[in-house]
Amino acid sequence: MAGRLDGKVAIITGGVSGMGLAATELFIKEGAKLVIADIQAEKGLALEQRFPGQLRFSRCDIRSEEDIAAAVALAVDSFGGLDVMYHNAGAVGDNSSIEDMSTAGWDDTQNLLLRSTMLTIKHAINPMKKRGKGSIILTSSAAAVALGGSGPFAYTVAKAGVISAGRYAAFALGQHSIRVNIIVPGAFPTSIWSGHIGGDADMGDRLGLDLGRFARMQVLPQAGDPRNIADAALFLASEASDFITGVALPVDGGLTLHRGPEASASGQLGAVNAAAEQLERA
């Protein structure tokens, strides 16, 4: 089935790589017009050339209100409005322990993950009101809900805040037929995992060499694929979910039901290290 986003205009933050790129490609296939808001300009401009007339790129630091506002303005100016805001961009941030956390590291992580969530919601509201409805999709993490946590301190707290922000916004904006839902990803071998070991964003594009440890993190014995997240985002963006709002949807293979042998923070880090070692040998 194609055409599930025909006539819709969407913004995807972090849409040039990993989960975001999978969503970009799927949304285009399903008929959407897209603005991709991302800090990786070279990749973004390449996508603009790949999908002429269907996609515009806006260089965007998601911590900047001016950049978020500019991405929304580009969607309205280029395609006539905004129907879907999918806030996917993010990174691990400061992975210090509680006792070693600096105020600067804490603030930067909250700005990156939580203030950016507020900004994407805020700037999506008016153009969606003009359309008469809309769908806002946020990205949390299994770290926010898994027993014992599975991510760094500042990251885990921020991602828990994303769920609260999304549920509050769903309640406040329902009167305008603006739905707000939250995707809660589990363990995926994408760029965010390289943040645990100080890797760059491109590293995540190459982490798929050793998926066995990722497959042992959750109930379903398989590694997550970015397409799993893209499919969930498509559902929440489309009319198929038009009576769903305020939901935190786990897409985690059951990670938050039962944490497998590799699901501890040390096990996850081991999976990333193992993949990095394979990259070095390749």
The pLDDT of residue 260: 53
Set 155, 188, 193, 214: catalytic member: 155
Is the pLDDT higher at 225 or at 128? Answer: 128
Which segments within 39-78 are labelled E, that is strand? 55-59
Least confident span in 33-47, 149-163, 170-184, 202-216? 202-216
| Number of other residues whose CB lies within 10 A of the CB of residue 249 | 18
Annotated active-site residue 155? The verdict is yes
**Strand order through the sheet with 84-87:** 55-59, 33-38, 9-13, 84-87, 134-139, 178-185, 248-251
pLDDT band at 220 (very low <50, low <70, confident <90, very high): confident
The most confident of the ranges 90-99, 198-207, 256-265 is 90-99
Q: Each residue of 59-83: b (16+ CB within 10 Å) or e?
A: ebebbeeebbebbbebbeeebebbb
Q: Is the pLDDT of residue 206 over 60?
A: no
The pLDDT of residue 186: 83
pLDDT band at 231 (very low <50, low <70, confident <90, very high): very high
In this prediction the pTM is 0.87
The pLDDT of residue 281: 42
> Using one digit for the tens of pLDDT, what is the confidence trace for 46-71?
999 999 999 999 999 999 999 999 99
The pLDDT of residue 192: 59
CATH number of 9-281: 3.40.50.720
The string of DSSP letters for 170-182 reads HHHHGGGTEEEEE
88, 20 Cβ separation under 8 angstroms: yes
The pLDDT of residue 211: 59
In the chain, domain spans: 9-281
Q: Each residue of 208-235: b (16+ CB within 10 Å) or e?
A: eebbebbbbbbeeeebbbbebbbebbbb
Q: What is the mean pLDDT of residues 108-135?
A: 98
Q: Is the pLDDT of residue 227 over 80?
A: yes
pLDDT band at 214 (very low <50, low <70, confident <90, very high): low
Q: Which amino acid is at 193?
A: W
> Using one digit for the tens of pLDDT, what is the confidence trace for 155-198?
999 999 999 999 999 999 999 999 999 999 987 766 655 544 44
> CA dist 198 to 12, 53, 97, 203, Å?
25, 37, 15, 10
Q: Is the pLDDT of residue 201 over 90?
A: no
121, 48 Cβ separation under 8 angstroms: no
The pLDDT of residue 199: 45
